[in-house]
Amino acid sequence: MSTAEAALNRESVCPNYVGGQWKASSSGRTLERRNPADLGELIGYASLSTREEVREAVAAAERAFPAWKQQPAPARGRILLKAARLLEEQKEDLARLLTREEGKTLVEARGELVRSINTLEFIAGEARRLKGETLPSELPHNFAYTVRQPLGVVGLITPWNFPFAVPIWKLAPALVCGNTVVWKPSELTPFCSRRVAEILAEAGLPAGVLNMVSGLGEEAGDELVEHPGIAALSFTGSNAVGGAINTKAARRLKKVQLEMGGKNPVVVLEDADLDLAATSTVLGAFGSAGERCTATSRVVVVDSVADRFVEMVAGQASKLTVGNPLDPGTRVGPLVGKEQFEKVLNYLELGKREAKLVCGGEAIQGASEAGGYFIQPTIFDNVQAGSRLAQEEIFGPVLSVIRVRDFEESMAAANSVRYGLTASIFTSDANRIFQAADRLECGMVHVNSPTVGGEAHVPFGGVKGTGFGERECGSSAIDFYSEIKVVYVDFTGRKREGNLY
C-alpha cells in the first residue's frame, strides 16, 4: 500500500491541523468526496468546520508567531528545502492521490508535483536573499537602511484545481518571510491538503506555524476574512468571491492578494505555423479538462486561415482519449465534481444556441460503470466576441472560435473580456509579436506557445478583473508577505540642531 493510500485509510474524515495537532472538527458536518472518474470509489470526507475552529487556529498562529519570527530566515528556508526533498521522495504516491481525488491525468499530476518541488527549492533560496538596502542620508553621520519584516498571521484560501501547487506557492513565501499561517484549502481536495501539512510538519515546521482548517467559504472562509487577527489574505478562486473578500478586508485595512478568473485567448494570424498553433491550442484548451485559470478558452483567428485551422484543431481534439486518468493513455480526465460538471453542461447547451458546434458537446460515461464526470472536448465556431460563451469563464473542456478580419481586429477581440491573465499569439512576423506583447491586456504573454505554463522563479498573475495585489511566484512573491521597515541610526552622539523635516 502506498504512503498516500495509507493516509486515506487512517481516517476517512480529514481532520483539521491546529497548533501542531490533528483534530476532528466539532461540527460533525462533512462533505463526501468520491473519485470523479469512478463515483463508486469513496475517497473520504472533508470536515466542514465552524467559525470557532477558525478562531482557535488563528489563536494558535498568534502564539507561534514571536518564536517563528525570530528564527533566522535561512533556517526557515532549510525547512522548505527538506519539504521539497520529501515531496520528491513521495512524488509518485502523491501524484496518484491527486489523480484519484481531483481527476487530473497522472502525467498532469506529476507535473503539478514537479512545479511544487521547484517552488519550494526556489523560495528556500530566497530565504538568503530577504535583502533590504542601504541609503545615503541627507544628514551627516546618519546611517539609513531598510529591512524586511513579516506581517504576522496571514490567511490563505486555495482552490481545488491545483491542490499541491497553489497552496505551496502561497505557503512557501509566507513561511520564509517569518509569518505564521491559517490555511483554508478547498473542501473538494481535503486529502491532498492534508499531505501538504503533514510534509511540512515532517520537514520540521514548528507547531502552530501552519494551521489548516477545512470548511465552506461562507463559514470558515468568511471567518478568516473577518477575523481581526489576520493581517493579510491571499486568495485564488472566482471573481465573485474575490471581490467580496476584497470589500470585507478593505473595511479592516487588511492587505489582500487575489488571483481570480481567466478567459484566455490564442491569437492565430495568417502567417502562423498552423500545425504548431493547433497542437498548442488543443493542449491549452483540453489539458486538465480545461479546469485551470490559464486554460485556452478562446481562439481569435484570422478569416483567411480559419477554416483550415478549425479543421485541424477539431481533428486533434476528436482523437483525445477521455477516461480513467490513472490510465497512461488518457489525455482528458473528469471534471472535479457534480457542481462543476452541471455548470459546464449548461454552457454546452448555451453554446449550441449561440454558435456552431464543431465537435463534442456531450457528457460521456467514462471508464467506470458507476459513472464519472466526463465531458467530451468541445469546440464552438463562429462565436461572437460579445456573447456569453466568449465572455464568461466556463472552467471546462470548451473552446470558442472567434473569427476576425485582420491583426487590428484580433487585438480588439482578444482584449474584449473583463479578464486579463494570459494570452498567446502565433505568427512569424516579429513586428506583430512585439506589438501584441505590448497591446494584449494580460499579465503573461506567450509567443508561439500555449497559454498554459509557468515557472517557479517567474512572477505569476494577471490584470483587469483577474488579479489584485502583488504577483505570486518568483521573487515578487516575497513582496506580498513582508513589509519594509526603514531604520535611521544617528552616530553623532549628540543633539542635532536645525530643521530635521
Closest Cα to residue 331, out of 288, 371, 279, 374? 288
How far apart are alpha carbons 319 and 155 in whole angstroms? 43
Q: Can you tell me which residue has the cell 511566484?
A: 473
Strand partners, 257: 234
- Reported as type and span, the H/E element at residue 170 is helix 165-176
Tell me the pLDDT of the chain (501 aa) as tens digits.
445 444 444 459 999 999 999 999 999 999 999 999 999 999 999 999 999 999 999 999 999 999 999 999 999 999 999 999 999 999 999 999 999 999 999 999 999 999 999 999 999 999 999 999 999 999 999 999 999 999 999 999 999 999 999 999 999 999 999 999 999 999 999 999 999 999 999 999 999 999 999 999 999 999 999 999 999 999 999 999 999 999 999 999 999 999 999 999 999 999 999 999 999 999 999 999 999 999 999 999 999 999 999 999 999 999 999 999 999 999 999 999 999 999 999 999 999 999 999 999 999 976 566 789 999 999 999 999 999 999 999 999 999 999 999 999 999 999 999 999 999 999 999 999 999 999 999 999 999 999 998 899 999 999 999 999 999 999 999 999 999 999 999 999 888 776 655
Residues contacting residue 231 through CB under 8 Å, at least 6 positions apart: 151, 152, 153, 154, 179, 254, 255
Angle at alpha carbon of residue 194, lines to 37 and 247, rounded to 5°: 90
Q: What are phi and psi of 209, to 5 degrees?
A: -70, -40
- Between CA 80 and CA 67 the distance in angstroms is 17
User: Which cell is 134 given?
Assistant: 542601504
Distance CA(465)–CA(243), nearest Å, equals 9
Residue 9's pLDDT is 45
Beta strands in 270-373 (DSSP E): 296-302, 356-359, 363-364
190/194 Cα distance (integer angstroms) = 6
Catalytic residue among 14, 177, 293, 442: 293
Residue 10's pLDDT is: 43
CA angle 131, 133, 137 (to 5 degrees): 160
Position 469 scores a pLDDT of: 95
One-letter identity of residue 311: E
Q: What is the pLDDT of residue 365?
A: 77
**220-225: which pairs have CB atoms within 8 A and are 24 or more residues apart?**
220/48, 220/49, 220/50, 220/51, 220/53, 220/54, 220/184, 221/157, 221/184, 222/51, 222/248, 223/51, 223/54, 223/55, 224/54, 224/58, 224/155, 224/157, 224/182, 224/184, 225/155, 225/249
CATH number of 264-447: 3.40.309.10
The catalytic position among 53, 102, 126, 259 is 259
Under DSSP, is residue 381 helix (H, G, I), strand (E, B) or coil? strand
Can you spell out the DSSP letters for 324-351?
-TTSTT--B---SSHHHHHHHHHHHHHH
The C-alpha cell that represents 159 in the structure block: 482552490
d(CA 4, CA 93): 6
SS3 248: helix
Question: Which amino acid type is present at position 270?
Answer: E
* Global confidence as pTM: 0.94
Q: Do domains 3-260+466-485 and 264-447 have the same CATH topology?
A: no
Cβ neighbours for 7, distance < 8 A, ≥ 6 positions apart: 97, 191, 194, 195, 198
Q: Give the pLDDT of residue 289.
A: 96
Give the HSE-up count for residue 492: Cα atoms under 13 Å, Cβ half-sphere.
10
Q: Alpha-carbon distance 419 to 395, whole Å?
A: 13
Cell numbers for 481, please give them. Answer: 508577505
Provide the 3-class DSSP secondary structure of residue 460: strand
Which H or E element spans position 156?
Answer: strand 153-157
Burial tier of 425 (Cβ tally within 10 Å: 0-12, 13-18, 19+): buried
Could you confirm whether 259 is annotated as catalytic? yes
Decide if 64 contacts 205 (C-beta within 8 A): no
Domain ranges of the chain: 3-260+466-485, 264-447
Q: Cell for 212?
A: 489548516
Three-state DSSP state, 210? strand
CB 147 within 8 A of CB 176: no
> Selecting from 3.40.50.2000, 3.40.605.10, 3.40.50.11030, 3.40.630.30, what CATH number does the domain 3-260+466-485 have?
3.40.605.10
Q: What φ, ψ does residue 482 adopt, rounded to 5°?
A: -145, 160
Residue 32 exposed, middle or buried by CB count within 10 Å (0-12, 13-18, 19+): exposed
Nearest to 99 by CA among 297, 281, 328: 328
